[in-house]
């Protein structure tokens, strides 16, 4: 399963808004530049996120976009499911009643797909924009001299 550009860019945009949370609205151009997202495409993503109640727009010279909630109250799942729809490694695990599969009760691969789906949701349901911000701060506070291995170990903490 690979996330589409919609999900990847949308999460990056929300992360950028989280970084600026409490500092007022962030212009679309700033988000686009900082996260290297084409501005026209970002407009479309922000419109979807706004309709979902995750961001609000502020008009005027000092206008832009802001998170509707605190970063700790917006999960990665909130963003990805809004932009991507249901996430699953296989269609057969999207419907909880197994109606799309004649062999669901005996299908060993369905068990694998369900475990993968549960693992995905264990991460995206519990990880918030605030967690992403904290991870970003940890990454930035580590010195350039740290090895890749040390960096990975620090990020796990």
Tens digits of per-residue pLDDT, 83-137? 999 998 888 888 766 666 777 678 888 889 889 999 999 999 999 999 999 999 8
CA distance 148 to 155: 11
pLDDT, residue 92, reads 81
CA distance 135 to 51: 28
pLDDT, residue 119, reads 96
pLDDT-derived band at 147 (thresholds 50, 70, 90) equals low
Structure tokens at 16: 């950028």
Write the pLDDT tens digit of every residue in 15-41: 999 999 999 999 999 999 999 999 999
Which residue pairs from 48-51 have beta carbons closer than 8 angstroms and sit at least 24 positions apart in sequence? Answer: 48/10, 48/82, 48/83, 49/10, 49/13, 49/14, 49/79, 49/82, 49/83
pTM listed for this prediction: 0.84
What residue segments make up the domains of the chain, in order of their start? 5-85
pLDDT, residue 157, reads 62
Give me the CATH topology for the region 5-85: Arc Repressor Mutant, subunit A (1.10.10)
Least trusted range by pLDDT, from 42-51, 76-85, 145-154:
145-154
The backbone torsions φ and ψ at residue 119, rounded to the nearest 5 degrees and listed phi first, read -65, -40
């Amino acid at each position: 399963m690979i996330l589409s550009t919609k999900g990847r860019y949308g999460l990056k945009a929300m992360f950028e808004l989280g970084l600026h949370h409490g500092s007022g609205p962030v212009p679309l151009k700033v988000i686009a530049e900082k996260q290297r997202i084409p501005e026209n495409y970002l407009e479309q993503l922000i419109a979807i996120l706004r309709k979902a109640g995750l961001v609000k727009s502020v008009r005027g010279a000092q206008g832009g976009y802001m998170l509707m909630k605190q970063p700790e109250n917006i999960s990665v799942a909130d963003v990805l499911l809004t932009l991507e729809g249901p996430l699953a490694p296989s269609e057969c695990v999207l419907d909880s009643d197994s109606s799309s599969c004649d062999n669901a009760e005996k299908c060993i691969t369905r068990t694998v797909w369900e475990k993968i789906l549960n693992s995905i949701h264990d991460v995206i349901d519990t990880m918030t924009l605030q967690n992403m911000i904290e991870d970003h701060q940890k990454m930035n506070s580590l010195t350039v001299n740290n090895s890749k291995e040390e960096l990975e170990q620090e990020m796990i903490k």
